[in-house]
Amino acid sequence: MLHPQTAFVRGGAETHTEGLVRALRGAGHEADLVQIAGKWYPPSQLAHQMAVWRSFDITESNGLEVDAVIGLKFPAYLAQHERKIVWLIHQHRTAYELWDHPDYADLKRQDDGAKVRDMVWEADRVALGEAKRVFTNAKNVRDRLWASLRIPAEPLYHPSHVAEELLDSTAGPLGGFVLFPSRMESLKRQSLAIDAMRHVSTGVRLVLVGRGPDEPKLREQVERLGLGGRVSFEIGVSDERLLQLYREALGVYFGPFDEDYGYVTIEGFAASRPVVTLSDSGGPLEFVLDDETGLVRPPQPTAIAEAFDRLWNDRAGAERMGAAGNELVRAEVPRWPEIIARLLD
Amino acid sequence: MQAARGLRRRLRGGTAGVEVQHGRGPGSQGDVVFAGPLPSAPTGIATYDRAVLDGLGRIGFAGRMDVVWPVRTQDAGRFPGYHLGVFQLGNNVEFHLEIYRAAYLTSALVVLHDLALDDFVRGLKAAGDPLGYMAAREAARLRGTIGDPDVVRNEPLREPWCAHVVRRARGVIVHSEFGRRYLQSFGCRTPVFVVPHPVIEAPEAFERSKPRARELRSSVGEPSFLVVAPGDMNEAKQLGALVRAAARLGDDVHIAIVGRCIEGYDVEPMIEAAGMGARITVHADVPDADFLAWLGAADAVVDLRFPHRGEVSGSLNRAMQAGKPSVVSATGTYLDVPDDAVLRIAPGEADSEELAHTLRRLRDDDNLRARVGAGAAAHIEHQQVSEATAHGYERAITQTLALVRDPARKAMAIWGKSLVDAGITERMVAEGFGMEYARALGSFEPGSEVAAARENFERSS
């Protein structure tokens, strides 16, 4: 398993990687995680990381031949190996669909951004093109890859360990808060959810779970809007606490901008909770079907508030959607033994 | 703030089109800094710099460029904030010491006015500057690597005193193909741009100086043939040979030596010893207008070099612009002047008989004089009309800036430095150490498929 690790950053990529290593070992394979510290700015540093991974020899280790390598994330999958499998969680997005985005573009604003973008495209074209198999973690990621580089890929969902635990346990009664677990950064749009809380007309509360660079700004926003009694923060919670929060929530909210896949959706459904998402949230829309497994709303505070109020006022409907979501996840998201078999097929 | 104001001067369109803001704080500065003497600094490089900046202004150079002169020790901290510095380097410690130091702090495009920086490096050493010792060490290491007989003949060029600063630079501007060959002869891998020396004078300048030219010609007795030897008076100008040649020419020939006196060199005793006092006059440190008028008054110009330091003669350029037939040494940068624009004599120590013979030809052959003079004027006019210098600078700045900003090269620089730190030598690199990384970086150079894919992607999204 090849992984570019940014120090002090923990998110879906790390969960995915660790889950895969565990599953490979569980299936009887000798698997190890090879990490190289990564940093994606300034752009020349990105070029450096790309060259490091591309020139990295992983054909054997300590005299033992390496049978296969699996890369999930840019630029780790640039490494060369006879049997390279890519399970893409996303491309380097600011070189692709976020290049021009008014809020999330960063590469474009750098002096050498355009040159690095070209390098990223060329590197992806070669490295993904030479891979023996290319999977993506969601249809959304597959579609982006096809739209940009015209490289076909096969979507392959997977559960997080939290989702697995929830699937293996019984759902409790619905509580009184909407749970929003995610890294606190602009793409996840916690700010929009906080704004929405100004417009709710019921007693519903919002619990933000995670950590990240936006935390101080979000706390300041809650303070400024006088929402301290309705919005609370839980920073760096343990898995046990996260499981408890899922099990006690009224519903789950997950409204990032064009998310790749999104564990939160799967975990919410695994806990039999309805999931509220937004019409531009990307990956979650592969599971959240409006009024069937959750609620899909436009990215506007009032619309989100209306969805939160609806869960509060229509508990039976919330329960129904949560149960439907749970069934959908069980049907659509394979468990690890099946995933390993497909990956190494 | 006062110091910051003093740091930059405003050069306006008309005299100079590159506009420089006063006292801008860090972060608001231009991409490029230009550091070199400006008028009224008593060096030819000052007029050169002004001409370059004027030319860049005329062609509408689009880069944001700050011009710094004088460069002072306390300005050092400002230079690394620029993406690129254009540094004018000559052989004079007085004018170029701080510029040379600044070139070490900044991604530099250095302009070599002398290929031999021997006096400069010695001056650096005398000032106890470590850069002087580094430059001297590198020059010594490369001594003997240059086999070109035209270089070997000229002692100051044998040891590449400029090698250290050139190796550190991201680009080098020289003024002749000879300069490029010289740098490459000792293994320079820094990109070299050959940019012609700017045309200093406005086209009408010589017309304006005609009355003064008549006065000057009259002041030396209205000779039927007036030869002017312009520029700094020093050993390399071979003025001794010119004095001896004069003795071989008739009484109707007058020689005027016009230019800056250089300390430690005196031509007068040679003239007296040859008994040529009446036919050779020395006009030292004349105003610029008179310098121009002397060139205008001349029937022929002599501009010899031995030893040659690889410089391009600004005086020769002016003489050619005035349409004067010039006699030059067949060496170094002089070989890059078109054959129909000058007359050449053998390189090395000038042979006074050959020089006298060449001057006699010019005196006696009106057609030859007119033809060579017209060739010279046409050559300079072409450079002037085509704005060859300004476009050359623009190309050099743009390409070096792109190089400096190239993320792949930045990454390669980090890698290269790491290899050096790890003790990897050039020989080991030649054997393949670290080359996987370089090859990987090279493989990211986008091909046409990427351009097509991106275009398609942008259209669809």
Say whether both B182 and B303 belong to one domain: no
Q: Which of B326, B356, B376 is the last residue of a domain?
A: B376
DSSP for A266-335, written as a single string: HHHHHTT--EEEETT-BGGGGT--BTTTEEEE-S-HHHHHHHHHHHHH-HHHHHHHHHHHHHHHHHHS--
Say whether both A207 and A98 belong to one domain: no
Cβ–Cβ < 8 Å for B4, B23: yes
Gap between the Cα atoms of B326 and B348, Å rounded: 17
CATH of the domain at B293: 3.40.50.2000
Gap between the Cα atoms of B294 and B292, Å rounded: 5
Residue in the structure block whose two tokens are 């060859």: B388
Residue B401 lies in a domain: no
Residue B393 lies in a domain: no
B367 part of contact set with chain A, CB < 8 Å: no
Say whether both A151 and A211 belong to one domain: no
Single-letter amino acid code for the residue at B181: R
Residue B151 lies in a domain: yes
Say whether both A259 and A298 belong to one domain: yes
Residues of A in contact with B447 (CB under 8 A): 122
Residue B395 lies in a domain: no
Question: Which SS3 state, helix, strand or coil, does residue A82 take?
Answer: coil
Say whether both B255 and B331 belong to one domain: yes
Say whether both A182 and A143 belong to one domain: no
Residues of B in contact with A97 (CB under 8 A): 461
A124: nearest CA partner in chain B: B444
A147 part of contact set with chain B, CB < 8 Å: yes
Lowest mean pLDDT among A50-59, B138-147, B447-456: B447-456
Number of residues in chain B? 461
A119: nearest CA partner in chain B: B444
Cβ–Cβ < 8 Å for A63, A336: no
- Rounded to the nearest 5°, which phi and psi values hold at B280? -125, 120
Strand partners, A77: none
B412: nearest CA partner in chain A: A48
Residue range(s) defining the domain that contains residue B43:
2-198
Q: Which of A51, A57, A121 sits opposite B441 (nearest CB)?
A: A51
Give the H/E segment covering residue A60: strand A60-61
A116: nearest CA partner in chain B: B407
Gap between the Cα atoms of A2 and A17, Å rounded: 9
Q: What percent of chain A has pLDDT over 90?
A: 88
Q: What percent of chain B has pLDDT over 70?
A: 94
Q: Which of B149, B165, B198 is the last residue of a domain?
A: B198
Q: A186: burial class by Cβ within 10 Å (0-12, 13-18, 19+)?
A: middle
Q: C-alpha distances in angstroms, A340 versus A3, A13, A28, A43?
A: 18, 17, 11, 35
Contact A148 B453 (CB under 8 A): yes
Given this model, what pLDDT does residue A112 score? 83
Contact B406 A112 (CB under 8 A): yes
Say whether both B193 and B95 belong to one domain: yes
Residue A12's nearest CA partner among A153, A187, A179 is: A187
B406, pLDDT greater than 70: yes
Contact A123 B443 (CB under 8 A): yes
Residue in the structure block whose two tokens are 């820094």: B190
Region B54-65: what's the mean pLDDT? 91
A89-99 residues labelled b (16+ CB within 10 A) or e (exposed): bbbbbbbbbbb
* pLDDT single digits (tens) A159-190: 999 999 999 998 889 999 999 999 999 999 99
* Cα-to-chain-centroid distance, residue B17: 21
Q: Which of A136, A156, A176 is the last residue of a domain?
A: A156
Gap between the Cα atoms of B38 and A147, Å rounded: 56
Say whether both B51 and B138 belong to one domain: yes
Structure tokens at A112: 């050498």
CA dihedral B14, B16, B17, B19 (to 10 degrees): -130
* pLDDT single digits (tens) B66-82: 999 999 888 888 888 89
Instruction: Give me the sign of the Cα torsion angle A130, A135, A138, A139.
Output: positive
Residues in contact with B295: Cβ distance below 8 Å, sequence separation at least 6, in sequence order: B206, B228, B230, B301, B315, B318, B319, B322, B324
Contact B444 A115 (CB under 8 A): no
Say whether both B421 and B345 belong to one domain: no
Say whether both B212 and B192 belong to one domain: no
Q: Rounded to two decimals, what is the model's pTM?
A: 0.71
Residues of A in contact with B408 (CB under 8 A): 47, 115, 119
Confidence of residue B339 (pLDDT cuts 50, 70, 90): very high
Say whether both B321 and B439 belong to one domain: no
Say whether both B168 and B29 belong to one domain: yes
CATH of the domain at A307: 3.40.50.2000
Strand pairing category for B280-284 and A69-73: unpaired
B9, pLDDT greater than 90: no
Say whether both A220 and A127 belong to one domain: no
Say whether both A185 and A252 belong to one domain: yes
Q: C-alpha distances in angstroms, A78 versus A122, A130, A147?
A: 11, 10, 20
Q: In this predicted complex, what is the ipTM?
A: 0.74
Question: Which SS3 state, helix, strand or coil, does residue A235 take?
Answer: strand
Chain A: give the shortest CA distance to residue B387, in Å. 29
Gap between the Cα atoms of A102 and A18, Å rounded: 34
Region B408-429: what's the mean pLDDT? 85
A218, pLDDT greater than 80: yes
DSSP for A144-191, written as a single string: HHHHHH----EE-----HHHHHHHTS------SEEEEES--SGGG-HH
* pLDDT single digits (tens) A188-215: 999 999 999 999 999 999 999 999 999 9
Given this model, what pLDDT does residue B29 score? 58
B80-111 residues labelled b (16+ CB within 10 A) or e (exposed): eebbbbbbbbbbbbebbbbbbbbbbebbbbbb
Residue A153's nearest CA partner among A135, A129, A172 is: A135
Say whether both A172 and A304 belong to one domain: yes
* pLDDT single digits (tens) B128-166: 999 999 999 999 999 888 888 888 888 889 999 999 999
Residue B49 lies in a domain: yes
Residues of A in contact with B405 (CB under 8 A): 111-112, 115
Of the ranges A8-12, A96-100, B274-278, the best mean pLDDT one:
A96-100
Say whether both A99 and A214 belong to one domain: no
A58 part of contact set with chain B, CB < 8 Å: no
Q: Which of A50, A112, A122 sits opposite B446 (nearest CB)?
A: A122
Say whether both A222 and A269 belong to one domain: yes
A36 part of contact set with chain B, CB < 8 Å: no
Residue A261 lies in a domain: yes
Number of domains present in the structure of chain A: 2
CATH of the domain at A93: 3.40.50
Q: Which of B334, B358, B376 is the last residue of a domain?
A: B376
Gap between the Cα atoms of B114 and B416, Å rounded: 30
Q: Which of A156, A186, A211 is the last residue of a domain?
A: A156
B239, pLDDT greater than 80: yes
CATH of the domain at B11: 3.40.50
Q: Which of B414, B443, B449 sits opposite A48 (nearest CB)?
A: B414
Say whether both B251 and B212 belong to one domain: yes
Say whether both B348 and B235 belong to one domain: yes
Residues in contact with A243: Cβ distance below 8 Å, sequence separation at least 6, in sequence order: A162, A165, A166, A169
Lowest mean pLDDT among B19-33, B126-140, B155-169, B321-335: B19-33
Lowest mean pLDDT among A4-13, B190-199, B206-215: A4-13
Residue B391 lies in a domain: no
Region B6-20: what's the mean pLDDT? 36
Say whether both B173 and B213 belong to one domain: no
Cβ–Cβ < 8 Å for A192, A217: no
Say whether both B358 and B416 belong to one domain: no
Cβ–Cβ < 8 Å for A107, A117: yes
Gap between the Cα atoms of B420 and B316, Å rounded: 45
Cβ–Cβ < 8 Å for B248, B280: no
Instruction: Give me the sign of the Cα torsion angle B322, B323, B327, B330.
Output: positive
Q: Which of B406, B439, B453 sits opposite A121 (nearest CB)?
A: B453
Gap between the Cα atoms of B100 and B124, Å rounded: 10
Confidence of residue B197 (pLDDT cuts 50, 70, 90): very high
Residue A343 lies in a domain: no
Chain B: give the shortest CA distance to residue A89, in Å. 20
Given this model, what pLDDT does residue B250 score? 85
Residue B9's nearest CA partner among B81, B74, B77, B70 is: B70
Given this model, what pLDDT does residue B64 score? 86
Residue range(s) defining the domain that contains residue A64:
2-156
Gap between the Cα atoms of B298 and B325, Å rounded: 9
Single-letter amino acid code for the residue at B133: Y
A149 part of contact set with chain B, CB < 8 Å: yes
Residues in contact with A338: Cβ distance below 8 Å, sequence separation at least 6, in sequence order: none
On average, the pLDDT of chain B sits at 88
Residue A287 lies in a domain: yes
Number of domains present in the structure of chain B: 3
- Helix, strand, coil distribution of chain A in percent, nearest 5: 45, 20, 35
Say whether both A103 and A184 belong to one domain: no
Residues of A in contact with B64 (CB under 8 A): none
Cβ–Cβ < 8 Å for B238, B347: no
B452 part of contact set with chain A, CB < 8 Å: no
* pLDDT single digits (tens) A276-327: 999 999 999 999 999 999 999 999 999 999 999 999 999 999 999 999 999 9
Residue A342 lies in a domain: no
List of long-range contacts for B146-153, beta carbons under 8 Å, 24+ apart? B146/B182, B146/B185, B146/B186, B147/B185, B148/B181, B148/B182, B148/B185, B150/B178, B150/B331, B150/B332, B150/B335, B150/B347, B151/B182, B151/B185, B151/B332, B153/B307, B153/B331, B153/B347, B153/B348
A97: nearest CA partner in chain B: B461
Given this model, what pLDDT does residue B8 score? 38
A146, pLDDT greater than 70: yes
Gap between the Cα atoms of A87 and A76, Å rounded: 11
B410: nearest CA partner in chain A: A44
Contact B437 A55 (CB under 8 A): yes
Say whether both A169 and A314 belong to one domain: yes
B243, pLDDT greater than 50: yes
B405: nearest CA partner in chain A: A112
Gap between the Cα atoms of B135 and B100, Å rounded: 11
Confidence of residue B18 (pLDDT cuts 50, 70, 90): very low
Residue B258 lies in a domain: yes
Residue B296 lies in a domain: yes
A55 part of contact set with chain B, CB < 8 Å: yes
Confidence of residue A1 (pLDDT cuts 50, 70, 90): very high
Say whether both A205 and A301 belong to one domain: yes
Residues of A in contact with B401 (CB under 8 A): none
